[in-house]
Structure 1
Amino acid sequence: MPPTLTDPALAYLLAAAGLDLTDAEKADLVGIHDSLAAMKARVRQKRGHMAEPAHTFGFNEEDLG
């Protein structure tokens, strides 16, 4: 089940961050929350040094995994 951001959870997070947002801004955050969660899951994966190819030289096929 994908993550969802409930109104009480959003209110808690905003209060903890000291943010006072408009209703439109809150709706934008709720609308993108699930997409951000999916992006974080993709980014937080183990990666080889090929994730930064500009900093590598002389790599081979095993380096791509």
Structure 2
Amino acid sequence: MPPALNDSALSYLLAASGIELTDAQKADLTSIHDLLAEMKARVRQPRGRMAEPAHTFGFTAEDLG
């Protein structure tokens, strides 16, 4: 699990990227940091082609005939 995002780390990252946020936006970002880390861990797993169902087609002979 990555370390928690504290105020000084967030300030550094924002300054380095040139992004300016309001205090409310910073609070929102800090509150979802752990959830984003969990999502990144799930996304970076090997998956089969059915993980992207919009990119697969299941035509039958009747569909093509």
Structure 1 gap ranges (5+): 59-65
User: Please, what TM-score do these two structures have when normalized by structure 1?
Assistant: 0.74
Contact 1:3/1:37, CA 8 A, preserved across alignment: no
Post-superposition CA distance 1:2-61 (Å, at most 9, x none): 641011110111011101111111111100111111111111100011112233356xxx
Contact 1:5/1:33, CA 8 A, preserved across alignment: yes
- Structure 1 distance, partners of 2:9, 2:27, is 13
SS in 1 for 2:4: coil
Moved over 6 A (4+): none
User: Please, what TM-score do these two structures have when normalized by structure 2?
Assistant: 0.74
For the pair shown, which has the larger CA radius of gyration, 1 or 2? 2
The 5-angstrom pairing of residues 48-59 of structure 1 reads: 48-57=48-57
- Structure 2 distance, partners of 1:7, 1:54, is 40
Structure 2 partner of 1:25: 25
Aligned length: 58
